[in-house]
Structure 1
């Protein structure tokens, strides 16, 4: 793991985005990472229907999601809003 990218143990549900949002920090810059509900359902192999299920599923998959986010950050794969969308 690249130690220049840190992931604090913080996550929240964004109703407007229908996604779990979590921060990453790289060289002092705060980067917003987003995992859509559909991606959580796909990765977990089950239907994720609400915010609590999304947060629980995120917690289960956290390590893999952080690895994916790290690779996307290193590739500078930001979306039009400056976020990292963790989708495959």
Structure 2
């Protein structure tokens, strides 16, 4: 794991966008990251029913999600707002 990329244990569910948002710190700069409900369902192998299911799936696959986000950051795959999305 890259020590210049830190993943604090902070995440929140965005009901409107059906995504989990979480910050990542890269060399002291905070970056907003997102993972979609369909991606969580794919990781979980089942339908995600609600906020609680989404947060549990995020927690269960946290390391896989962090690995993917780290790869996207290293590949400079930033969106228009400077964040990283795994949709």
In the superposition, the TM-score normalised over structure 1's length comes to: 0.93
Aligned to 1:22: 22
Segments ≥4 residues shifted beyond 3 Å: none
**1:38-85 alpha-carbon deviations (Å, 9 max, x no partner):** 110011110002111000000000001001000101111012222211
Partner of 1:81: 81
Alignment length (residue pairs): 87
| CA–CA separation in structure 2 for the residues paired with 1:82 and 1:29 | 11
Return 5+ residue gaps in structure 2 as ranges: none
1:64, 1:74 → 2: CA distance? 15
SS at match of 1:81: coil
Higher mean displacement: 37-46 or 75-84: 75-84
Which runs of no fewer than 5 residues in structure 1 stay unpaired? none
Distance 2:61 2:33 in 1: 14
Alpha-carbon RMSD across the aligned residues, in angstroms, is 0.9
Shift of 1:27: 1.0
What residue in structure 2 maps to residue 7 of structure 1? 7
Counterpart of 1:50 in structure 2 is 50
